[in-house]
Structure 1
Amino acid sequence: MGKYFGISRYEIQPLLMQKYHLSDTDWDRLTELWHTYGMRHTGDMSNCTPSNHYYLQGILEHLAIEWDSWNEGMSKQLKDIIQTEFPQLIVQDREFEID
């Protein structure tokens, strides 16, 4: 278990956002990407993969960034977006993981 296990996401999320220089707008964009490229999408699922879903869900819900764990199965479209818009999130970091 990490040092933040069991602590509210709302207390820890600002720490992760500060470390990775993420604004509220960036967080909203990651949420949008999760709904578009994750398994939550209800329309055309051709660019949706479980790896997309779990990578973004890890960040948004668990505050864990696991690029090395998920990037191989991610769609090219999402990889390109992350590499362009969020290169700082191409890391393996579970420091702030809450569960």
Structure 2
Amino acid sequence: MEPLEAVAESHPHVLVFPIPVQGHVNSMLKLSELLSITGFHVTFLTFEHIHRRLLRFTNVTSRFARWPGFHFATIPNDLPFDHPNSGPSSWSFSTP
């Protein structure tokens, strides 16, 4: 069992995995930023194509660089980068 001092110094860790449809990613980024401000460690998990879009069209790298407990993580789309359907498509990720 950890000493009480070690428990008091540890930070809670949150995994944020937004549904990859319009509007959810930006809202979850804002929530993640607020959690980071209060001292939470946040891992923001997205599909690779969502992360590429964030890097291309937003200032997400500089925006979250000031929060040392914030990290991006990605999971593969299982499609080649140049495949026409490598972007989000309705709810195709949840159907068999």
One fold, TM greater than 0.5?
Answer: no
Structure with bigger strand share is 2
Higher relative CO (Cα under 8 Å, sequence separation at least 6) belongs to 1
Structure with bigger helix share is 1
User: What TM-score, normalized to structure 1?
Assistant: 0.28
